[in-house]
Amino acid sequence: MLKILFIADIVGKIGRMTINKLLPKLKKEYCPDLVIANAENLTHGKGLTKDTIEEMMKAGIDWFTNGNHAFSNKTEKLYTNNFPVLRPANYPINTPGNGYSIINVKEQQILLINLIGRIFMPMNYDCPFAKLNEILSSLANKNLSAIIVDMHAEATSEKIALRHYIDGKVSALVGTHTHVMTADQMITDQGTSYLTDVGMVGLANGIIGVDKENVIKTFLTQIKYPHVMSETGPAIFNAVLLSINPKTQKTQKIKPIIKFINF
């Protein structure tokens, strides 16, 4: 059985502190074969850098997916210098980096795919449905043990639609981006595990990882106030543990993980 720990969007320094504190213990408890995390909010809540990626690799994360902030810090070289970092596959064809990778684990091949949704998103991304079909078709002859898809999207309907569209074709479809863990984890009759959103790793007593005061002021006044990223206070850790049969590519168990810690 392959065990894969997928960690939600890591938000800012307090999110990284939470990973550093909790992940070593969780790896001892669950013994995952592969640890994946979404890194698009890793640095000050927006984007990622070489230093923050290396910090998280040292903490025990093996691979990173991304989203709409993939290039917020002008870190194109991260995607071309052999770092274990994906950007959404349905970015335009000339965008630096890769949207999927085959990862070798315990003599097994795991395909990790990163997609981004189009509903309520600011850019004109390519169709994630068509791109996923294209990737799966191009790798149909590969001897894959598991296929994991991170769908970084705002709209619940878009994620659920993709679940129906690819049911039975992938081992797991997990959603990221909204920073709030949903309670709809499931394994379909075709063996595809699903969770609309894994949640986040970051400030718990805020608004999706950001200090609450300025966000509330923006709602009250319709004047855009800057986001403030706290480095102290209660933090939440969200992840999902997937147990996948490598012979069938089907998920046998999906377990949401929620932990809290104070700084």
Q: List % helix, strand, coil for the chain (3-state, nearest 5).
A: 25, 30, 45
Q: Which residues contact 125 (CB under 8 A, 6 or more apart)?
A: 88, 90, 91, 116, 117, 118
**Contact (Cβ atoms closer than 8 angstroms) between residue 89 and residue 55:** no
Which one is catalytic: 69, 152, 177, 227?
69
Q: Which fold has domain 2-262?
A: Purple Acid Phosphatase; chain A, domain 2 (3.60.21)
Note the pLDDT of residue 126: 97
d(CA 201, CA 208): 10
Query: At CB < 8 A and 24+ separation, what contacts does 22-26 make?
Result: 22/237, 22/259, 22/261, 23/59, 23/60, 23/61, 24/59, 24/60, 26/239, 26/257, 26/259
179 is a catalytic site residue: no
Sketch the domain layout of the chain as residue ranges. Answer: 2-262
Reference 214, options 202, 204, 228; nearest CA is: 228
Note the pLDDT of residue 203: 98
Per-residue pLDDT of the chain (263 residues; tens, 9 = 90+): 999 999 999 999 999 999 999 999 999 999 999 999 999 999 999 999 999 999 999 999 999 999 999 998 877 778 877 899 999 999 998 999 999 999 999 899 999 999 999 999 988 999 999 999 999 999 999 999 999 999 999 999 999 999 999 999 999 999 999 999 999 999 999 999 999 999 999 999 999 999 999 999 999 999 999 999 999 999 999 999 999 999 999 999 999 999 999 99
**Contact (Cβ atoms closer than 8 angstroms) between residue 174 and residue 67:** no
d(CA 125, CA 121): 9
